[in-house]
Chains A and B, each alone.
Chain A
Amino acid sequence: MIALVPMIASTVVAATPLIYAALGETVVERSGVLNLGIEGMMLIGAVAGFAAARASGSDSVGFAAAAAAGVALSLIFGFLTLNLQTNQVATGLALTLFGVGLSAFVGHNLAGMPVERLEAITIPGLSAIPLLGDLLFHYDIMVYLSVALFVGVHWFLTKSRTGLTLRAIGESPGVAHAIGKPVLATRYLAVMFGGATAGIAGAYLSLVQTPMWVEGMSAGKGWIALALVVFGTWKPARVVVGAYLFGGVTQFQLFAQGFGLPVPTEFLSMLPYAATIVVLVIICRDPKTILLNQPASLGHSFHPTT
């Protein structure tokens, strides 16, 4: 059991950036917008967060800068897809390519520089509990905030009036518009929210997971976040379960290798993807689940006159 503690701790750290990025994208997609630019926004967030934290010496400033950078990039996407009605898939892909290139360009001089890792916080009393303290109360603040974000997003999408409006817009923007709901404004805010969380997810990589900046450091995590949203059938709880599952199996396969398990490493490397797909397929055995949960207008441009 003691041996499992570091494994679980690593799992949480591995899953946290995915949770931020995927929860943001859940809100974006629920409003009917498909933003494939997460990877690009994460990288921009990673480099902005790193640069700001280095310059200011404060991680909070780093995360704030990362969120702002993510929002800035998402606004480009918003303007193109919402105002100019460009194709969302193509624009999202372009945003990723743009973010990858821009972050490399901006971070040219930051490569190879260290930054202090965001410290884990200890909670007086709780952190000292044997086993449980190590397991639950030994993380950095961003881990706890990711849990808060989940609760917030879940409440927003299911209980709040604005959240229900957002979902209505995602299902049928025409109807929502006809009854006087602000389709464009809502979608803009959703896209900006997704940009902010993707930026924070990126900064989590460059300030917590591996406190450094290197080109392309997200290594495909943006795409995994995107897949988690679909497999989590646009429900925050399932998205979070998926993220932990993915992080857990990734961690498990490394541990298994360390123990000398005679399984091909290629198979083990595949395991996180396979396991996540299998479990989420089991969750939604009924083929209709994905279809029914998918926001009906996902990926479609909306113009008030159409």
Chain B
Amino acid sequence: MRLRIWNVLRASATALAVALPAASFAAEPLKVAFVYLGPVTDGGWTQMHDVARKKLEAAMGSAIKTTFVENVPETADSERVFRQLAADGNKLIFATSFGYMEPLQKVAKLFPDVKFEHVNGFKTAPNIVVYEPRFEEGFYLIGVLAGQMTKSNTLGFIGSFPIPSVIRNVDSMTLGAQSVNPKVKMKPIWVNTWYDPGKERQAADTLIAQGADAVGQNTDSPASIQAAQEKGTYAFSIDADMSSFGKKAQLSGTTEDWSGYYIAETKKVIDGSWTGNRHTRWGLKEGLVVMAPLNPDIPPAAVKVFEEKKAKLISGELNPFAGPIKDNSGKEMVAAGGAMPDATFSSLNWYVDGIEGSVPK
């Protein structure tokens, strides 16, 4: 773990300011802390959270004071970081990685007056709230583009780990593609890492060699976009716009803008309306899930379909997981006329029809 020295300095300066009330006339600012898995320059997941933190600071002005700690592994180290941040007087703490779930449970019990927010988890508490992007909407739209642009009718997906929140993405990409092109097949490859450019590159090369000409990803580096650029196929970015790595290859991608959520939650803490035990899922409508810029080479007809589907997702007319949905063994998972309940996403472990292979058990 690397605690940036200026954060420590800033924290101690704040402590000093609190210790000398005569020096400050304004009400004591709310201290908000962010805990990041990666470095703030990772060009993806963590950077997006930090961009939102800066927007939060700009929006709230002197009413709050933010701190962040980067490169915090999902181990016992994180427990120490949470404990220290809570002890330092932070009243609202955002834990921005799934793996902080258990350490957070422990620390939250010790600091009942500190409010914790945990991304993508599934364990809430009186002072823990879970928040999560509706990525299925973004991946559905990726599928809509992939389904229209593929020539081989074979799509690929580079998965990190076969966990419910990632299986959801390959499922929704496939459903989106099938909505515009019933012939598509999907080949997923699991690399069992969030981040290993070399391995992601090999996985992309493999998928392309096996005929997949539009490859989605749930790993963090732009390696698959570079591979597609060289081979003349298509790829999609994740978390950030990665088109600088492949202008022709990147069709679009999913990014996140967390600032709306962070501002809303911080305001709730300030006006006292914050409550625990909530599980919030925000998507395109709320502006948390944002699509990366569309590739100008996409034909206007395909863009039109994309925009229509997007508008319907925002209005709620279209649900990516609306029935009937069969898994790839032919068993009906969602009945016609129904839709998958939100709670099911945290235990999703089957492939929709059209995906090759079986979910690694």
Contacts and interface: CB of A to CB of B under 8 A. Distances in A.
Given A214-B43, A262-B357, A269 B192 contact: yes
A250 interface: yes
Contact of A258 (B162, B197, B207): B207
A214 B221 contact: yes
A257 B357 contact: yes
B195 interface: yes
Interface string B1-14: 01000000000000
B113 interface: no
A104 B202 contact: no
B356 A260 contact: yes
B42 A10 contact: no
Nearest to B203: A254
Contacts of A254: 189, 191, 202-203, 206
Contacts of B41: 108, 111, 215
Interface size class of B (residues with CB under 8 A): 35 or more
B245 interface: yes
Contacts of B203: 254
Interface in A246-284: 250-251, 254-255, 257-262, 264-266, 269
B31 interface: no
Most central of A3, A250, A254, A269 by chain B CB within 10 Å = A254
Nearest to B2: A101
B206 A258 contact: yes
Most central of A3, A101, A113, A266 by chain B CB within 10 Å = A266
B21 to A, nearest CB: 38
Most central of A7, A209, A216, A258 by chain B CB within 10 Å = A258
Interface in A57-113: 101, 104, 108, 111-113
Interface of A: 3, 6-7, 10, 14, 101, 104, 108, 111-114, 117, 205, 209-212, 214-217, 219, 221, 250-251, 254-255, 257-262, 264-266, 269
Closest 4 A/B residue pairs (Cβ): A260-B357, A6-B209, A210-B197, A265-B190
15 contacts: A7-B206, A104-B39, A111-B41, A112-B43, A205-B197, A209-B201, A211-B226, A212-B221, A217-B221, A219-B193, A219-B197, A254-B189, A254-B203, A255-B210, A260-B357
Given A219-B196, A258-B206, A265-B190, 20 more contacts: A6-B205, A6-B206, A7-B209, A10-B202, A14-B202, A111-B42, A117-B226, A205-B197, A210-B198, A210-B226, A214-B43, A219-B195, A219-B198, A219-B199, A221-B198, A257-B206, A260-B187, A262-B357, A265-B162, A266-B192
Interface of B: 2, 38-39, 41-43, 156, 162, 187-193, 195-203, 205-207, 209-210, 212, 221-223, 226, 230, 240, 244-245, 356-358, 360-361
